[in-house]
């Protein structure tokens, strides 16, 4: 990522690295959540070796970066990058929960939530799209969770199946939240030149 002399340039490099890591995670999750005919789990399997060294390098880079205290715009970007790195780290951890991912993708009852989370991970996203999708995902997850509990009460599915389904729905909730927060902090972490290049 280069030297640390120019704080703005250093933050630009960190933001680009964080974006590249996030895109790799989101693309792998999208491929894993695709309909059966198009599903590809290979990007997900390759993800730890692909992104973990870059993620650790990003954390080291940010920990070594010392910003001038009289530059609030740089300090704000640094704060956003710290939040962004935290969310991409947690999203990377969620990407390793293969049982929940495959259950979400394979269960016909969860097809709509699976499509919604795949849309929330897609790029490019319009401003505010991730927040709207997260609200939609929360509503879907709540309805499906209630439905699973009612089906168990009626003897239509076993308690074990309920727990698998609600586990998958919790995964969905949390990944949707990370996608929304990543969008929020990405916009704050990007420098003025990067923001100027973003489509309206």
Question: How many domains, the chain?
Answer: 1
Of the pLDDT bands very low, low, confident and very high (cuts 50, 70, 90), residue 196 is: very low
Say if residue 197's pLDDT is above 50. no
Of the pLDDT bands very low, low, confident and very high (cuts 50, 70, 90), residue 58 is: very high
Of the pLDDT bands very low, low, confident and very high (cuts 50, 70, 90), residue 109 is: confident
The pTM of the full predicted model, rounded to 2 decimals, is 0.86
- Mean pLDDT over each residue of the chain, to the nearest integer: 88
Structural domain boundaries, residue 30: 7-197
Structure tokens at 62: 């940010």
15 is a domain residue: yes
2 is a domain residue: no
Q: How many CB atoms lie within 10 A of CB 192?
A: 11
The span from the CA of 184 to the CA of 106, in Å, is: 30
CATH number for the domain including 30? 1.20.120
Of the pLDDT bands very low, low, confident and very high (cuts 50, 70, 90), residue 193 is: low
CA dist 192 to 39, 63, 138, Å?
38, 23, 33
Among 99, 64, 97, 58, which residue's Cα sits nearest to residue 81? 58
Span of 7-11, 12-16, 125-129, 151-155 with lowest mean pLDDT = 125-129
- Cis omega (within 30 of 0) on the bond before 88? no
The span from the CA of 148 to the CA of 157, in Å, is: 8
57 is a domain residue: yes
42 is a domain residue: yes
Q: In this predicted model, what pLDDT tens digit does every residue of 147-169 receive, in sequence order?
A: 888 888 888 889 988 889 999 99
Q: Which of 72-76, 116-120, 187-191, 196-200 is the most confident on average?
A: 72-76
């Amino acid at each position: 990522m280069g030297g640390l002399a120019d704080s703005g340039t250093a933050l630009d490099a960190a933001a680009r690295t964080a974006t590249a890591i996030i895109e790799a995670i989101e693309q792998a999750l999208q491929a894993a959540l695709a309909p059966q005919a198009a599903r590809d789990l290979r990007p997900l399997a390759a993800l730890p070796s692909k992104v973990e060294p870059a993620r650790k390098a990003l954390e080291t880079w940010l920990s070594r970066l010392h910003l001038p205290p009289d530059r609030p715009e740089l300090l704000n970007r640094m704060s956003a990058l710290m939040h962004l790195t935290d969310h991409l780290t947690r999203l990377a951890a969620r990407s390793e929960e293969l049982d929940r991912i495959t259950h979400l993708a394979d269960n016909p009852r969860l097809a709509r939530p699976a499509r919604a989370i795949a849309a929330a991970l897609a790029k490019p996203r319009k401003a505010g799209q991730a927040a709207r999708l997260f609200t939609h995902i929360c509503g879907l997850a709540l309805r499906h969770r209630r439905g699973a509990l009612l089906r168990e009460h009626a003897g239509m599915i076993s308690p074990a199946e309920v727990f698998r389904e609600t586990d998958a729905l919790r995964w969905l909730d949390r990944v949707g939240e990370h996608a929304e927060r990543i969008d929020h902090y990405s916009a704050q972490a990007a420098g003025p030149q990067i923001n100027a290049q973003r489509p309206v």
